[in-house]
Amino acid sequence: MSAERHGLPDRIGDAMVARTSPERMQRIWRGVGGLREARRRRRDVAVRAGGLAVAAAALLALGYFGGRAVSRDPTPAAQTAAPRGEIRFAGGGALPVSLAGERVVELDDGSRVSLAGARVEVVENGADDFVMTLHEGRVRYAVRPGGPRAWWIECGLATVRVVGTRFELERGATSLRVTVDEGAVSVRSHLIEGGVRILRGGEEVQLSEPVTPPADVSVQLPVEVEAADAARARAMGWQRMAERGDYERAWRVLGERGIAERTPTASAAQLLALADVARHSGHEEAALAPLERLLDRYPEDPDAALGAFTLGRIRDRRGQPRAAAAAFERALALPLPRSLVGDATARLAQARAASGDAAGASAAAADYLRSSPNGPRAAAMRALASPP
Amino acid sequence: MPSARAKLRAVVDPPADDVSDPELVARALRGDRRAEEAIFLRHAPGVTQMADRLLGSETDAEDVVQHTFEVAFRRLEQLDRPGSLRAWLLSIAVRRCHRVFRRRKLLRLLGIASHPEPDTLIDHLASGSSPESRAELALLDVALTRVPEKERVAWMLRKVEGLSLPECATACGCSLATVKRRIQAADTVVRAHLEGSR
């Protein structure tokens, strides 16, 4: 071959760039750790399930269960030996390649797929991966967490990767909607900035095929538009960096100006991500605007309570107790995760006390003591609840 | 066992180069996590590069590399010849790449192609490369689209990644004779295309 090649070295790879930055290697290493951890959890679950199965078998052998087992397999005749690791109907029947219409399918790994006017196909059904395609319609998935396989749903405009979660997909002719109720999925698509987005409970993404102008209508973009596009391209990927915890790099891409520019038009998830980039890169003040915007624009968002709590902490650290108290009040009025309610109540009491609202501080401290009489802040709250 | 948030300590404190693969494997089998990190640090860049070029998609390549090392650490005791660690890792990665190819093919067949067109070799070319290199690689990219998958993979391992023939055979999971035949078959197509284009 080398005799025919004039421009390339014998080992062609020597002429190429290696995309193996330390950041990427670190990310992959974390992924390896995640996979190993997931496998360890699955093994633990399998061991426990095995123990239960042995116990159940022993009971059956003793004739403890007299009745016949109820099969949820819609095709009991299809109960043949399954290839190793294959997902089957909960009753044991083999899954067909194609599923369509209005039906609820229960699977033997504890997952459930509910079709609403949808058509799906099982592309791969193995020990490690379960791959489905969604051709059209709406499907609600409840994938059992800690199950033995990674689930992938190919939807044309995107690939959805699932570990264990409840979510819904709706595919139209040129659109796709992904809504996550619980857990998390990663949505990969060339239509998403950075190529991938992690969706968590309460989040949604809508993708639409861009409309291509007819070939005979060529539009010359003004210079300013081209410049704006270039700027957008430069900023591409900050969200991906934030999702991976690389806040320093994301800050270098965005800067204070980038955060300010994006805040007015960002989604709830993006606002939280912008605030995270600012906070974790050591620019806490720049997180205030996205968090305020989140509370103004998306008060119904499931993450609004977390946003308010974070805002309260920042205001508190910056010596603004009145604003901090307002933010903690807001957080407590929203569906804040239970694990944070005690902390938010205590912080509210202290912020009120610091802003001169002794009665308010006492009331909040009393609230804390009612719910957590032996909580970690009980001593401080007792002092505030009954001031000298 | 590394957690999902585990930091790769060896990045800032790399192991000595004179520690051989067999020694690292032996240490890893005794439960030494630093040895696992050292194995990753030494071989992950090569596996990643190969997966990047074979698959033309960084996201898919990262999945493959993660899977490769998860499987490798789980089955390390099955490695007969620790001296051939690199080829063994590549063989796991190549098998996984074939699964990605199969899946893509099937999805294309079903009219569900969610991936944009994969990168080609020319997308990986170093900036500042000569126009001749660019032209050669553009021709190779086209030629390789005409080569069947298994032959293309064998050819790329040999000609792009520079693996020895025994390493190519191990990575492809076939005999030395078979891998030679595959490389030869791919070479014939590539030569014909290059000559026809001059």
Q: Is B140 on the interface with A (CB under 8 A)?
A: yes
Q: Is A214 buried (19+), middle (13-18) or exposed (0-12) by CB count in 10 A?
A: exposed
**Pairing of the two strands A98-106 and A129-143:** unpaired
Label residue B124 by pLDDT band (50, 70, 90). confident
Label residue B119 by pLDDT band (50, 70, 90). confident
Which residue from B2, B58, B112 is facing A154, i.e. has the nearest CB? B112
How much is the pLDDT for A66?
38
Nearest to B48 by CA among A31, A336, A258, A110: A31
CB proximity under 8 Å: A 102-141 to B: 121, 123-124, 129, 131, 133, 135
Answer whether A34 sits within 8 Å of B130, measured CB to CB.
no
Q: Is B190 on the interface with A (CB under 8 A)?
A: yes
How much is the pLDDT for A216?
38
Which residue from B6, B121, B136 is facing A33, i.e. has the nearest CB? B6
What's the Cα-to-Cα distance from B81 to each of A202, A373, B22, B96, rounded to whole Å?
50, 62, 8, 21
Task: Determine the 3-state secondary structure of A105 from DSSP.
Answer: strand
Which residue from B62, B114, B133 is facing A31, i.e. has the nearest CB? B62
Which residue from B6, B103, B125 is facing A131, i.e. has the nearest CB? B103
Contacts B134 to A, Cβ<8 Å: 7
How much is the pLDDT for A203?
87
CB proximity under 8 Å: A 341-370 to B: none
Which residues have CB under 8 Å from A12's CB, separation 6+? B121, B137, B140, B159, B160
Q: How many contacts does A have with B, using Cβ atoms within 8 A?
A: 164
Answer whether A33 sits within 8 Å of B195, measured CB to CB.
no
pLDDT digits over B57-93, tens only? 888 899 899 999 999 999 999 998 888 899 999 999 9
Which one of B67, B108, B112 makes the best mutation probe of the A interface by having the most chain A beta carbons within 10 Å? B112
Q: Are the CB atoms for A89 and A95 separated by under 8 Å? A: yes
Q: Are the CB atoms for B14 and B41 separated by under 8 Å? A: yes
Which residue from A6, A22, A25 is facing B136, i.e. has the nearest CB? A6
Closest-CA distance, B8 to chain A, in angstroms, reads 6
Q: Which residues pair with A129 in a beta bridge?
A: A150
How much is the pLDDT for A82?
44
Q: What percent of chain B has pLDDT over 70?
A: 84
Which one of A29, A44, A152, A162 makes the best mutation probe of the B interface by having the most chain B beta carbons within 10 Å? A29
Answer whether A22 sits within 8 Å of B112, measured CB to CB.
no
How much is the pLDDT for B68?
96
Q: Which residue has the tokens 């107790």?
A: A321
Please report, in tens digits, the pLDDT of each residue of chain A (388 residues total). 444 555 677 888 888 888 888 888 988 898 888 788 777 776 666 666 666 655 555 554 444 433 333 334 443 333 334 445 788 888 887 777 778 888 888 998 889 999 988 888 887 787 777 888 888 889 999 988 767 677 888 887 888 888 668 899 998 888 899 998 888 888 888 788 767 788 888 888 888 876 544 433 333 434 444 444 444 434 346 776 665 567 788 888 888 888 998 899 887 777 888 888 898 888 989 999 999 999 999 888 767 888 898 899 899 989 999 999 999 999 999 887 665 788 889 999 999 999 999 999 999 999 999 887 877 788 889 999 886 6
How much is the pLDDT for A347?
93
Contacts A33 to B, Cβ<8 Å: 1-6
Residue of A nearest to B9 (CA): A26
Closest-CA distance, A10 to chain B, in angstroms, reads 7
Terminal Cα distance for chain A, rounded: 91
Answer whether A196 sits within 8 Å of B59, measured CB to CB.
yes
* Prediction pTM value: 0.54
Answer whether B162 sits within 8 Å of A154, measured CB to CB.
no
Which residue from A1, A27, A35 is facing B67, i.e. has the nearest CB? A35
Answer whether A156 sits within 8 Å of B112, measured CB to CB.
yes
Q: Are the CB atoms for A384 and A365 separated by under 8 Å? A: yes
Task: Determine the 3-state secondary structure of A142 from DSSP.
Answer: strand
Closest-CA distance, B34 to chain A, in angstroms, reads 13
Residue B181 has pLDDT above 70, yes or no: yes
Answer whether B124 sits within 8 Å of A16, measured CB to CB.
yes
Contacts A173 to B, Cβ<8 Å: none
Rounded-to-integer distance, Cα B50 and Cα B43, Å: 11
> Please, what's the largest Cα pairwise distance for chain B?
57
Contacts B128 to A, Cβ<8 Å: none
What's the Cα-to-Cα distance from B149 to each of A7, A231, B154, rounded to whole Å?
25, 39, 9
Residue of B nearest to A26 (CA): B8
Q: Which residue has the tokens 């103004």?
A: A296
How much is the pLDDT for A7?
67
Closest-CA distance, B83 to chain A, in angstroms, reads 23
Q: Is A40 on the interface with B (CB under 8 A)?
A: yes
Nearest to A15 by CA among B138, B180, B91: B138
Which residue from A17, A30, A33 is facing B124, i.e. has the nearest CB? A17
